[in-house]
Structure 1
Amino acid sequence: MFILKPHSGVPIYRQLLDQIRRMAASGQLPPGTELPSIRELALTHAINPMTVSKVYTLLEAEGVLERNRGKPMTVAKPKRAQAPPAKRLEQLEPHLEQVVLAARQLELAEDDVVKALHEAWEKTDAREPVHRRARPR
């Protein structure tokens, strides 16, 4: 369900936090979708359960997730309509800046970077949609 890269330089909790936040904002994780338990997610990705707990707690405080006693953590219903594309693109800005910086340091041409982005887009687009693998409530 999530793609965590331990050697990326980005803390695991941040990767998980950002992915859940983005997937909820985009509708890939629709409201009511049950997330894996802390223990299950920790075992699946070989990470510390406290890391998962921290992410779930932070997202609950933001209103992205909701906790129901005795039930799995679920994606909360948005308090407002889905953010417009420009607002959602803001979440990508730090990542895009990192890509551009790395590309400039590697002295790559803009066209080559755009082509690589398009190829990556096509490669990930071919995967099974994430929301089909999640368990709707």
Structure 2
Amino acid sequence: MAFEFNDNKPIYIQIVDILKIKIISGELEAGSKLRSVRDLALDFEVNPNTMQRALSELERENLMYSQRTSGRFVTDDIDTIVHLREEMARIEIAELYSMLIKLGYKKEELTQIILRNLKEME
């Protein structure tokens, strides 16, 4: 599973972002055990130190935890996952809002254009 990383931000942060999406979407289920750092590093085609740094960041954000003899697990705190999902949605909406304003849309037009496009996507 090859990932394409860009130069805009550090690779470990890009891995954090990818894993957050996997947690939010349920691809990595709450409470599930992760594969070893070495195996994940092979999947992402990165150095194990880079993967360890990404996983440590996810632990710092309480999205993962380690058990000394058992390995590393996705948080089983559903509230944390729901909060992350809402926060990521808020960030994406803010970026969309900013872009649409730059394109010349008025604040009052945004709801209409978004609803119209959502209907077309169905």
**TM-score scaled by structure 1?**
0.57
Structure 1 Cα separation of the partners of residues 64 and 84 of structure 2: 20
Alignment of 1:84-99 (within 5 A): 86-92=86-92
Residues 79 and 85 (structure 1), Cα distance of their counterparts in 2 relative to 1, 3 Å cut: closer
* 1:21 and 2:20 are equivalent in the alignment: yes
The corresponding residue for 2:11 is 12
Once superposed, what is the RMSD of the aligned Cα atoms?
Answer: 3.6
Structure 2 Cα separation of the partners of residues 50 and 84 of structure 1: 25
- Shift of residue 26 of structure 1? 3.4
Q: Which structure has more helix as a fraction of its residues?
A: 2
**Which gives a bigger RCO, structure 1 or 2 (Cα 8 Å, sep 6+)?**
1
**TM-score scaled by structure 2?**
0.63
User: Aligned to 2:27, what secondary structure does the other structure show?
Assistant: coil
Unaligned regions of 5+ residues in structure 2, if any?
Answer: 104-116
The corresponding residue for 1:65 is 64
Residues 85 and 16 (structure 1), Cα distance of their counterparts in 2 relative to 1, 3 Å cut: closer
Q: How many residues align?
A: 106
Identical residues among aligned pairs (%): 26
Q: Which has the larger radius of gyration?
A: 2
